[in-house]
Structure formats: C-alpha cells, structure tokens
C-alpha cells in the first residue's frame, strides 16, 4: 500500500480522511461561511433523533447512511463541531478539510521506479517463474507460490461470485478485465475533489464506472480476477465477477464517507468478497482518547472508529468476506511505535504515543477483516510489511524489490507483483509515450500486449501489502465458488465465517525464521525495520495461519459441520 494506501507508504496505500461525498472544497476556493462535516450518532440512537440533534446544533443534513448512523452535514456555524460533540446523542463531527496531493512515486509500492530514477535497473532478473498460462503468466511467481495455476484446473471461479474492489476504480477497457467486469453492480462513491484530484474529467465530477485515474484499483483487480483468455496475464480466480466499488480518489486518498457507503452498498447488494488495500487518514492510528490529542481531534477519531466498525460489521452480517492489507509501515501492530506522522493535514504532525488497547489502524484492525501480510519470492516477510500475532491472519505474495540478496535477482523488478494498469496513468508517470509505446528504459517494468484488432492492455509491477491482499481475496473467491450454495431465488454465496475458517485451515503453514529477530541490514535497512517473529508453526506473527494456498483451498473438503 502507499502513503495513500495501506502502510503509510507513498503511491498506492490510501489516505482516508473525513469528507462528505461529492462536496469537495477546492484548496483555492474563496472563503465561505458554510462548511461540510461528517457526523456520527451514538449507539442505539434513532436516525430521526440524530437528525434533530444535528439541526439543534446548527447543521443541515445533506445525506445520510442510517445503517451505520452517519450523516453528511453542512453548517455555517463556527462552533458547529463543538456543539455536535456536546450533544449526548452524537459522538462527534469532523470537518472536511483540504489536504495535499500524493507524491509522484510511492515510497513502497513503486520503490523500483524510485531506485531507477538515477539509473534503470538492468535486467528484470529471474524471480521464481510461474507456470505459463497466459503470455505474461511466467512472470507471476505469486500464482505458483499459492498454487493458483493448479487450483483453476479444479475451480477457476464461478461467474455468480462477485468480488468488490474497494479502491481507486477499475479500468474495464483492459482486455483482461473486460470479460469479468460486472457493469450492473459497479458504482462510484468518490466524486473527484479538485483540491486533491485536480480538474474534473467530466462535468459532474463523478467519473463513469469502468475507469481508473489512479491505477491502484486496476492492479488489484487484475491480481484477483484477470481472465485466463490467452492474452496478457491471469488472476487468482480468473472466472469470477469483478465489481468496482470506487471509494478512493484519483489522487489515492480514501475518505470516510465513500468508504463507508461502499461497504454498506456491498452488504445491501450481496457482494461476496471485498478487498480493501488502504487505511484511514488523517490519523495513522485512530484513538478513542489519546491524551496527546485535543478534545476536538479525539471526538473526530471516535467518529471514524465508530463509523468504520459499524460499516464492517454491517457488510459481514450481510454475507461479505472482508480482506484487508496489513500495512507497509514495517511495524508490529500489537506493539505500535509512537506516531510521529499524524495528523498529515490540517495541522503539523506531533508525537503521539499509541495505546494499543484504545487505538486502531483501520480498516485492517476492524472487526471481521482478514489481515494479510506480504512476502517476497523467497517466502521471506517483505521488509516493509506490518506483522504481529494480534492482527495478522495470513500471508500472501506482495512482492519485495530487495529480495534475493547475494543473487542476481536482488533489487530487480521481477521480485514485485505484475498486474494490469491503465495506459493513461502510465503515460502520466512517464513510462509510456503519447503513442502508447513503452519508453526506453522501462521495458523491464512495463509490458504491452495487443490483439490483432489493435486492442491493447498494459501491465506494470508494484509491491506492498496492497498486492498481497488481492491474492488472499482471490483465494476467498475460489472458496465461495467451490463451496457456495444457492441462496434465495437468485442469490449465491457462503457464510464469511466459513470462508475465513477454510482459508485459514488450508493455508500453507510457515514457521518463523531463525533467528526470530529478523534484520535487514544486507538489504540496506536500519534498525527500525527489525522485526521479531513470535508464535509457532501453525500460527505466528509473520505468516499468521500460513501463506494462502489456492489449490489446497479448492481441493480440501469443507469440515462436515461447516455450513455455507
């Protein structure tokens, strides 16, 4: 993930701030008396009661999500947030604020491009090759590691199984995405905000579904379910349906309202699996009452925590299996370090000691979320990956540019995860020219595949727990495809609890390394990357229950008492 996506990195792990959907305030907008807030009601408070309290505090409800007690509110009162927080029926109010732009290159996910800024890495290297299925599948070492190439001979996925990609969008024009893209269910919950996304591409500022101006979502979607069609590359579950749930901005930011609304929609619509490769900003950890924070900031964080937990529980109770990236902050989530990066907008960051009992990294530490760490081609934990027995569930291939020290694969692009990517984003990043050709020097990191009719698809490498999570989500989709049952007149699915249990039971156990304290000095990392692996063979802080295994997941029968 990137600074904008899971691990506090830099190109694809997502910043989640508070905003009202479609009500972006440009950074250069003229001063206005009216401001926009997100308000969350206390537990057990009826929606109409909350609306009355909001009105009494001086606010006007613009839209509402009754299932999670969240309201989008406008107010011209300078003291609205304080008045709302003081109301006994409301948890708090968080004002929408202009934030910044993401860095051009993500510190973790695009490390290979940052390293190549001075000099391109020569050859692509020779990371472990996967069985060739589609033309580029020999570059997908992750497919072989989790045995997805063997799994599809038993279960390639069921078209009735839907996987929501809660991300920056999905480029449905890619020939590997198009066959599996579900147009009828796909939605955009995140209109462009000019203060962070730049000028709107369409008059409504609501990009049409099937587009992705960030690239992250398309990469995630390809790993989950790119079609096995003899073209480009294939995904873990090549026959499932991909549903765009655009909750992230083009710039890579993820705001609270679009994310919550996407989760609620997923539950209402019967989506089977949702992948979440991002985290919620402006706070690295949202705390209930951190003494280092002001009362107003404490109330804001309590509102974020409550809204996200309600949305996750709602989706789970409606049958959604939730899979999330563990994060790229090279941190034990059960023993978090002092947060020196928050808030990352609106005010200068300051040191915040983090109490593990009252602070959460969301959504990965939220209820019912399957947390996924990242491993490289060697099977070692990626240096950037978060870990820890408290939050980890499983591990999966996420790539590691610095894997293979002492071999010719060290610091090569082939150590990363290759997947689909929008052409125009590659053009903006400078690796593809105006004519659609790969720029000299990028031949090892960007690939172009074209059909006889001239239709082309583009692919590039990224790394991060954002790339590990979709491998696990793909296996979860195969489990639902293999063991799901008809539900009602038109439905099809499987209990998310049973999906989770089977995913864990069939993962390939992986013991902690020796010595257990892993240091990455040879890879050029300092002591802040040191990581201690606690636990046994069947469950530990680096691998959880093991590395996901698609073949075992579809070959191993469900336990007799397991109910779909």
Checking if the pLDDT of 420 tops 50, the result is yes
Give the 3-state secondary structure percentages of the chain, helix then strand then coil, rounded to 5. 25, 20, 55
Q: Radius of gyration (Cα) for the chain, nearest Å?
A: 22
Average confidence (pLDDT) over 291-318? 95
Do 375 and 547 touch, CB atoms closer than 8 A?
Answer: yes
Do 292 and 353 touch, CB atoms closer than 8 A?
Answer: yes
Question: Residue 166 has which token pair?
Answer: 């809660």
Please return the burial class of 266, using the count of CB atoms within 10 Å of its CB with bins 0-12, 13-18 and 19+. Answer: buried
For the chain, the residue count is 564
Residue with tokens 């996304």: 197
Q: What H or E segment, with its residue span, contains residue 39?
A: strand 35-41
Checking if the pLDDT of 105 tops 70, the result is no
Predicted pLDDT at 195? 80
What's the CA gap between 258 and 146, in Å, rounded?
32
Question: Residue 401 has which token pair?
Answer: 């540019």
What's the CA gap between 88 and 92, in Å, rounded?
10
Predicted pLDDT at 97? 62
pLDDT, tens digit, 9 for 90 and up, residues 13-34: 222 233 333 223 333 333 447 8
CA 509 to chain CA centroid, nearest Å: 24
Do 19 and 255 touch, CB atoms closer than 8 A?
Answer: yes
Q: What is the pTM of this model?
A: 0.91
Percent of the chain with pLDDT over 70: 88
- Three-class SS state of 36: strand
Question: Residue 443 has which token pair?
Answer: 């031949």
Using left for φ > 0, alpha for ψ between -120 and 50, and beta otherwise, residue 212 falls in beta
Among candidate residues 251, 200, 242, the one with its CA nearest the CA of residue 13: 251
Do 260 and 308 touch, CB atoms closer than 8 A?
Answer: yes
- Cβ neighbour number for residue 22 with a 10 Å cutoff: 19
Checking if the pLDDT of 548 tops 50, the result is yes
What's the CA gap between 564 and 561, in Å, rounded?
10
- Three-class SS state of 402: coil
Among candidate residues 469, 476, 485, the one with its CA nearest the CA of residue 321: 476
Among candidate residues 504, 517, 451, the one with its CA nearest the CA of residue 475: 504
Least confident piece of the model among 55-59, 117-121, 476-480: 117-121
The Cβ-side half-sphere exposure at 458, using a 13 Å CA radius, reads 23
Least confident piece of the model among 36-45, 98-107, 150-159, 192-201: 98-107
Exposure letters 158-180 (e unless 16+ CB within 10 A, then b):
bebbbbbbbbbbbbbbbbbbbbb
Looking at residue 160, the DSSP 8-state letter turns out to be T
What's the CA gap between 15 and 251, in Å, rounded?
10
What's the CA gap between 426 and 105, in Å, rounded?
12
Do 3 and 9 touch, CB atoms closer than 8 A?
Answer: yes
Checking if the pLDDT of 200 tops 50, the result is yes
User: Cα dihedral sign for 165, 168, 172, 176?
Assistant: negative
Average confidence (pLDDT) over 471-483? 98
Predicted pLDDT at 115? 73
Among candidate residues 461, 449, 553, the one with its CA nearest the CA of residue 501: 553
Least confident piece of the model among 9-13, 81-85, 248-252, 328-332: 9-13
Give me the sheet containing 417-420, strands edge to edge. 417-420, 456-462, 446-450
pLDDT, tens digit, 9 for 90 and up, residues 359-402: 999 999 999 999 999 999 999 999 999 999 999 999 999 999 99
- Highest-confidence segment of 1-10, 19-28, 506-515: 506-515
Predicted pLDDT at 564? 55
């Amino acid at each position: 993930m990137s600074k904008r996506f899971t691990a506090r990195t830099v190109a694809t792990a997502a910043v989640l701030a508070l905003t009202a959907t479609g009500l972006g305030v440009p950074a250069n907008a003229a001063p206005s008396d009216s401001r926009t807030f997100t308000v969350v009601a206390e537990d057990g408070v009826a929606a109409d009661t909350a609306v009355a309290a909001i009105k009494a505090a001086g606010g006007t409800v613009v839209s509402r999500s009754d299932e999670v007690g969240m309201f989008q509110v406008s107010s011209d009162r300078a003291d609205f947030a304080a008045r709302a927080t003081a109301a006994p029926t409301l948890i708090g109010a968080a004002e929408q604020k202009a934030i910044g732009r993401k860095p051009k290159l993500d510190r973790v996910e695009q490390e290979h491009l940052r390293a190549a800024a001075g000099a391109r890495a020569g050859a692509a290297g020779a990371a472990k090759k996967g069985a060739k299925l589609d033309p580029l599948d020999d570059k997908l070492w992750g497919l072989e590691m989790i045995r997805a190439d063997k799994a599809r001979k038993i279960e390639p996925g069921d078209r009735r199984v839907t996987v929501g990609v809660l991300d920056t969008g999905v480029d449905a024009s890619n020939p590997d995405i198009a066959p599996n893209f579900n147009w009828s269910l796909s939605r955009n919950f995140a209109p462009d905000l000019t203060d962070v996304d730049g000028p709107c591409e369409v008059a409504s500022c609501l990009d049409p579904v099937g587009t992705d101006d960030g690239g992250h979502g398309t990469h995630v979607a390809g790993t989950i379910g790119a079609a096995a069609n003899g073209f480009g590359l294939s995904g873990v579950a090549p026959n499932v349906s991909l549903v765009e749930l655009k909750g992230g901005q083009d710039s890579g930011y993820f705001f609270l309202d679009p994310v919550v609304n996407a989760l609620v929609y997923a539950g209402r619509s019967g989506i089977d699996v949702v992948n979440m490769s991002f985290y919620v900003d402006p706070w690295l950890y949202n705390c209930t009452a951190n003494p280092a924070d002001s009362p107003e900031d404490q109330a804001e964080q309590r509102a974020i925590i409550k809204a996200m937990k309600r949305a996750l529980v709602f989706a789970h109770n409606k049958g959604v299996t939730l899979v999330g990236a563990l994060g790229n902050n090279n941190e034990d989530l059960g023993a978090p370090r002092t947060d020196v990066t928050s808030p990352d907008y609106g005010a200068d960051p300051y040191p915040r000691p983090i109490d593990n009992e009252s602070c959460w990294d969301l959504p990965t530490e939220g209820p019912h979320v399957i947390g996924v760490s990242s491993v490289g081609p060697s099977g070692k934990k990626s240096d950037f990956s978060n870990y820890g027995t408290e939050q980890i569930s499983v591990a999966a291939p996420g790539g590691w540019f610095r894997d293979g020290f002492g071999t010719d694969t060290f610091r090569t692009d082939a150590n990363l995860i290759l997947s689909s990517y929008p052409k125009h984003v590659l053009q903006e990043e400078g690796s593809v020219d105006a004519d659609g050709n790969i720029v000299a020097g990028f031949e090892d990191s960007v690939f172009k595949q074209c059909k006889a009719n001239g239709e082309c698809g583009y692919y590039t490498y990224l790394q991060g727990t954002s790339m590990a999570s979709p491998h696990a989500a793909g296996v979860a989709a195969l489990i639902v495809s293999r063991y799901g049952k008809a539900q009602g007149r038109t439905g099809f699915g499987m209990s998310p609890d049973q999906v989770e249990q089977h995913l864990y039971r069939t993962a390939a156990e992986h013991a902690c390394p020796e010595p257990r304290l892993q240091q990455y000095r040879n890879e050029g990392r300092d002591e802040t990357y040191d990581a201690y692996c606690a636990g046994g063979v069947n469950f530990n802080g680096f691998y959880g229950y093991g590395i996901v295994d698609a073949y075992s997941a579809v070959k191993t029968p469900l336990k007799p008492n397991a109910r779909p």
